[in-house]
Structure 1
Amino acid sequence: MATLPAVQSHFPNRPQFQGFMKPCGVEGEAFNLEIEGKIPDEIDGTFYRVMPDPQFSPFIENDPWFNGDGNISAFQLKNGRASFKQRYVRTEKLTREREAQRALLGKYRNKYTDAVEFKIRTTANTNVVHFNGKLLALKEDAPPYAMDPVTLETLGLHNFDGQLPSLTFTAHPKFDPATGEMICFGYEAKGDGTPDICYYRIAADGTFLETVWLVSPVVAMIHDFAVTANHVVFPIMPQVCDIDRLKAGGEHWQWSPETPFYIGVMPRVGATAGSVKWFRHPNCFPGHVANAFEDDRGQLVVDIGVSPTNVFFWWPDANGNSPRPETIVSRLTRITLDPASEHLDILPEQVKTLQSSNSEFYRIDDRFAFGRHRHVFYDAMDPALGTDFPSIAPNLGGGYPLYNSLEHLDLETGKTSVYFPGRHHMVQEPVFIPRKGSTEEGDGYLLALVNNYATMGSELHLVDTGNFGETLAKVVLPIRLRHGLHGNWVDAAE
């Protein structure tokens, strides 16, 4: 256990705790929020999102922003009005630190640096999904925490009535739009530094349908994954873990420029440990998956963000090298794989860049998940749009990628449409809301939390996908919400 320094009431003088990234520490409710424009009456549901938001100053001076406590926001849109609710996930960490009135957790995913021993060491701060009547607050180092979707009360650690076989649970489960099945996995599934992957399918009523144990070719991060009608795809990021480094007080993750980008492919149903094939792509950083599907030839088509350099620059390589944040570029990339092939090295002709801007946080119309998709929505950075960087730079804070616009890519026509929220704004991850009564893919609305650096406040921007360049409605929030990670739209009918 770590030797604790004196309690600090202020946060470290580091970019990840300054400007817009200053921790919020807010729980509460706000009703009848100010709206500019009009929210269509047909929209009836809640946008849930989570941000890492440390409640106490860490005793690790350069603690990454990924290590904050999970704070869940719920934005309800109904009858043309908007309301807001926010509560922390009552993890073991949060509860015990409130009792001690100080930080007790040490380095990111390194239990050997903690001040106390935790039974479940997680911040539940990466994603929040709705499943079988509950919200599940997710971080890929532990089981979910369940929450009430209306009150945001934490119901407790959720192991699916004892069915969960893995010590870990993905932050990016996938949902079958036809059956409601949730498809999941955990990596480092038998504990820190282990190469084990546990794959499982869960029926809409919470019953486990199948469990498969696999061994990864390298102990590394698998942040997102892809599912098609018949296959599962595991993109392994070359951020590697070494248990001896952890025990010595080092970082959980270290960039490995020598490690390939491995892509595991196996059957979605009826797989065994021997079913998986590990394809190899030259070293790069795989980000979030937009979608995957099987084409008419039975090939797997995976649309995923790819950067040639280490996007998680705060975890450098063994020599301390990492790219400058302003040089990092990611683009939506299509990788086509033959699941029957015995040739496992991915060739250049199997890889195609789909768009030109620096992009991430890809979303589709989820009703078309696992099948061929036409429309992709995402965050983008285009300096030519006119962002006033000199004026907002002092308030940006640090530790995360910056995007100044939303884009819509039509894969059939190749056309890209851009939504630019303003010269003093940056966007967070969008969510797609289908238009009521429409079955056409991509017909609906895009909703995203937006940082306004002129007012140092947060806004919700709503865009009609049929008129993508214009603001349909803007909800002005009474507080500033630091940059979050992921979230999802839940229709009231669910």
Structure 2
Amino acid sequence: MAHQMGDTQPVNQLFPGLPQFSGFMKPCRVEGDVQKLEVQGVIPNNIDGTFYRVMPDPQLPPLAQDDPWFNGDGNISAFRIRNGSVSFQQRYVQTEKFSREREAGRALFGKYRNKFTDAMKFKIRSTANTNIVFFNGQLLALKEDSPPYALNPLTLETKGLYDFDGQLPSLTFTAHPKFDPESGEMLCFGYEAKGDGTPDVCYYTVSPDGKITEQVWLVAPEVAMIHDFAVTDNWVLFPLIPHLCDIERMKKGGEHWQWSPETPFYIGVIPRRGAKSSDVKWFCYRNSFPNHTSNAFENDEGQIVFDLGLSEKNVFFWWPDAKGQAPDPKEIHSNLVRFTIDPVNGTSDLHEPQVIQKNNTEFYRIDNRFSTKPYRHCFFDLMDPALGTNFTEIESRLGGGYPLYNALGHLDIETSETEVYYPGNTHMVQEPVFIPRSKSAGEGDGYVLALVNNYDTMLSELHLLDVRDFKSPLAVILLPLSLRPGLHGNWVDGKSY
């Protein structure tokens, strides 16, 4: 951009030459539509709906040169599948940040969740880049430090901030709301719910017609990250990641989060309905990193069974501890584990969890019709170097700043058997979604859909699998561009919007 006479501040036109902006992590920055994507194979006609996903995708070079990869603007992709054909649509969420930076032609937003490093003051400091869900006619783009942004599900046009018609009790809204498959209600929470550095957590539920019902305020034992949570028929669980916030550190230009190796892994448990703040019980386990949850339910003894990924190391290695120490990303390993918790009579110290999947796994997804209930099938990303990935050939193109997974897994919890889909020796996978074969199909009977990074072509692909024959794809849908690794997405049935 040419400077006008009198300009005193140079505009950075290049992204930093760092791994999180290189290779497949190079910002996409594309908005547009493509009809009739190329399809290798056959897409069954009973698949009718849209796969929405969001990626952090900075429209402009950042103020902070070493910006973490998920501080980018939320860019929504919609893959609409109908009659065996796929169309693609992509639009940025028009957040306050996005609009003001586009008008200025330069970055104004500072470090990740640190308002003290911004070049100007924002009313709502959101990138809307972490998840995208559909509820009560609204497509909601989520970032856990702010309210949702509502979008038109057909056009992806941004409608604006969404506060549930003025009902939103918290300043923040989770990136991982849960949905009760029977009642249709959405269960939500916000942490740092009264602002940056506050230990307050607000749990609330939303009826299918958009009315906020349950509301409980809690105080967490630490000002810690609570990225995901879990719900059963009668209980709600809040796993605290030992990344802690310190306002004074932020005021000095430091990071919002710092890993605390001395802090245990806490799980807060409250009744799902009619709870008071005094009802919360905090259970703890040794210092570790809770990843995304798979599911939670109650067994016949009334205990809570809670399945989630767990790592002994700091998975968010780009935020080290106070001594600047962080693990080598190649040494980070996460297992799918099962905690059994007695919410009424249990002691505060949790027993050693059962490992139910020993591979290095993450991004667990289930058949959502069995959310909050006993379940059998779990789908996920996994990393197994023994599968044959040609790291020597593709390493220079990987980019950096995020965990890598080279296969998709399907765990049958009842038999402990895992099926693996390996897309090829120059491919990495992103988060999968599950699509039921029909409304009446049994649990886990359907399809798995996931974006795949092809480091040979340097283009993205959608791989569609039939769970009945998990090791081979039904179809590979080819995209004419590369999509940065996204954070989360969801399948929405075509009859829903």
User: SS of the residue aligned with 1:97?
Assistant: helix
Say which of 6, 10, 14 aligns to 2:14.
Answer: 10
Counterpart selection for 2:276 from 265, 272, 278: 272
Do the aligned residues in 1 keep the contact of 2:339 with 2:351 (CA within 8 Å)? no
After TM superposition, give the deviation of residue 5 of structure 1 in Å: 6.4
Per the TM alignment, residue 8 of structure 1 is displaced from its structure 2 partner at its CA by: 1.2
User: After superposition, where does 1:423-438 map in structure 2 within 5 Å?
Assistant: 423-438=425-440
CA distance in 2, matches of 1:59, 1:103: 6
Match of 1:148 among 146, 149, 152: 152
May I ask how many residue pairs the two structures share in their alignment?
489
TM-score under structure 2 length normalisation: 0.98
Cα distance in 2, alignment partners of residues 312 and 253 from structure 1: 10
Aligned to 1:383: 385
The residue number in structure 1 matching 2:3 is none
- SS in structure 2 at match of 1:177: coil
Quick one: percent identity of the two aligned structures? 66
Residue in 1 that maps onto 2:217: 213
Alignment-mate amino acid for residue 466 of structure 1:
R
Segment of structure 1 superposing worse, 335-344 or 157-166: 335-344
Match in the other structure for 1:63: 67
Kept after mapping to 2: 8 A contact 1:71/1:87: yes
Q: Which residue of 2 aligns with 1:137?
A: 141
Indicate if the aligned counterparts of 2:296 and 2:307 stay in contact, CA closer than 8 A.
Answer: yes
Residues 209-358 of structure 1 aligned to structure 2 (within 5 Å) = 209-348=213-352, 351-358=353-360
| Equivalent residue letter for 1:426 | M
Please say if residues 5 and 59 of structure 1, whose CA atoms lie closer than 8 Å, have aligned partners that are also in contact. Answer: no
Give the aligned residue type for 2:348: L
What corresponds to 2:480 in structure 1?
A: 478
Aligned to 1:21: 25
RMSD: 0.8
1:200-230: CA deviation from partner (whole Å, max 9, x where unpaired): 0000110011211110000000000000000
Q: Residue 5 of structure 2 aligns with which residue?
A: none
Alignment partners' CA distance in 2, 1:137 and 1:74: 13
Q: Could you tell me which residue of structure 2 aligns to residue 200 of structure 1?
A: 204
Q: Is the 8 A contact 1:278 1:344 kept in 2?
A: yes
Q: CA deviation at 1:438?
A: 3.7
Tell me which of 77, 80, 85 is aligned to 2:81: 77
Rounded to whole Å, the distance in 2 between the matches of 1:424 and 1:134 is 38
Shift of 1:355: 1.1
Superposed CA deviations along residues 216-264 of structure 1, whole A, max 9, x for unmatched, are 0000000000000000000000000011111111000000000000000
Give 1:437 deviation, angstroms: 4.8
Q: Give structure 1 stretches of 5+ with no counterpart.
A: none
One-letter code of the match for 2:491? W
Q: Which residue of 1 aligns with 2:489?
A: 487
The DSSP-based 3-state class of the residue aligned with 2:357 is: coil
Cα distance in structure 1, aligned partners of 2:413 and 2:216: 34
In structure 2, give the amino acid aligned to 1:86.
Answer: Q
1:469 equivalent in alignment to 2:467? no
Gap runs ≥5 in structure 2:
1-7
Q: Which position in structure 1 is the counterpart of 2:47? A: 43
Cα deviation, 1:146-192, whole Å, max 9, x if unaligned, reads 00000000000000000001000000000000111000000000000
Deviations 1:7-37 (A, max 9, x none): 2111001100000000000000000110000
* Structure 1 residue 294, shift from structure 2 partner: 0.2
Structure 2: how far apart are the matches of 1:305 and 1:237? 12
Q: Distance in 2 between matches of 1:399 and 1:126?
A: 16
The one-letter amino acid paired with 2:329 is P
Q: Which residue of 1 aligns with 2:447?
A: 445
